[in-house]
Structure 1
């Protein structure tokens, strides 16, 4: 018995999205611990910790990257589906295709822009102000996340299966 390439690709995209979510979860834990230490340092010991804002900002970049990738695969991004309430299936199919094509273009363009911006690095002054943490890895994480989002939209366009169908099956809930 052979499996369809689209199914296995969707499985890989889901796994990659889950890895991004795991990384984002770790970043949230680090962010919470950093905040607790910063608050304790400032208000309990009266000593603010130099550069704590830099660490918080870079952790937030990982949280955003993980959220984009995970949310794309699970259909968790906010969307309002007004067209399906007013138009028929044929119109919805056309508007869905147009929306996915626009989404693919925007996702890949954003991924490219983030990647090229990350390549410049310190030469362009892309580092945090206090600790001089380079922005490059965070640009790359965001770029990969947006590329994954574009791939998910592309696969869904060619397989004809919207992300929402998979997320409702996986979660056991339908809103």
Structure 2
């Protein structure tokens, strides 16, 4: 029962992050297309296009990060290939805990940065988007990434066999 609930919740969260990331990518593509078309054909770029591009790119990256971590699709460099068994599991747990701590510290630091931006009332130059909202969102997504790492550490997926080298 609990495994089924966890599986459904995992699938729902994964679908949510996938759709949000895809939507941000589409909007980023549309903004870039309108900006370039306006710049080269009408000599009038999209007002605030650069700011929108920066914010959409950050949103896309940080919405994709928890998804990538949860699916174990991040880049892995095996400096020490452990044999199968308990050592391999320990290596996986320690690596995921290190990732969780790193993402957690980054989240906390980004939250502090957002507080400073909020206090200063910082906005983007052209279209006046509050920068603290962007920083708070990034901080929250980094916290979700830390949770994804912790889940991977303590509820590991089956470890694939090491590739054979000829």
TM-score by shorter chain over 0.5:
yes
Normalised TM-score (structure 2): 0.81
Could you report, residue by residue, the CA deviation over 1:67-125 in whole angstroms, capped at 9, with x for unpaired residues? Answer: 102111222211123433x5453332222222122111111111122222223334336
Does the CA-based 8 Å contact 1:21-1:69 persist in structure 2?
Answer: no
Distance 2:158 2:67 in 1: 11
Partner residue, 1:3: 2
Distance 1:163 1:144, change over 3 A: farther
Q: Which of 151, 154, 157 in structure 2 is aligned with 1:162?
A: 157
Distance 1:144 1:109, change over 3 A: same
More relative contact order, 1 or 2 (CA 8 Å, 6+ apart): 1
Does the CA-based 8 Å contact 2:104-2:143 persist in structure 1?
Answer: yes
Distance 1:28 1:140 in 2: 20
- Classify the secondary structure of the residue corresponding to 1:76: coil
Number of positions where the alignment pairs a residue of Structure 1 with one of Structure 2: 160
Q: Which of 95, 113, 121 in structure 2 is aligned with 1:117?
A: 113
Which stretches of structure 1, 4 residues or longer, exceed 4 Å deviation after superposition?
none
Deviation at 1:64, TM superposition (A): 0.8
Partner residue, 1:145: 141
Q: Which of 33, 38, 55 in structure 1 is aligned with 2:35?
A: 38
Partner residue, 2:126: 130
Deviation at 1:57, TM superposition (A): 0.8
**Larger proportion of helix:** 1
Partner residue, 1:25: 22
Does the CA-based 8 Å contact 1:156-1:163 persist in structure 2?
Answer: no
What is the aligned-residue RMSD (CA, Å)? 2.4
Distance 1:18 1:138 in 2: 22
Partner residue, 1:105: 101
Structure 1: state its 5+ residue gaps.
166-175
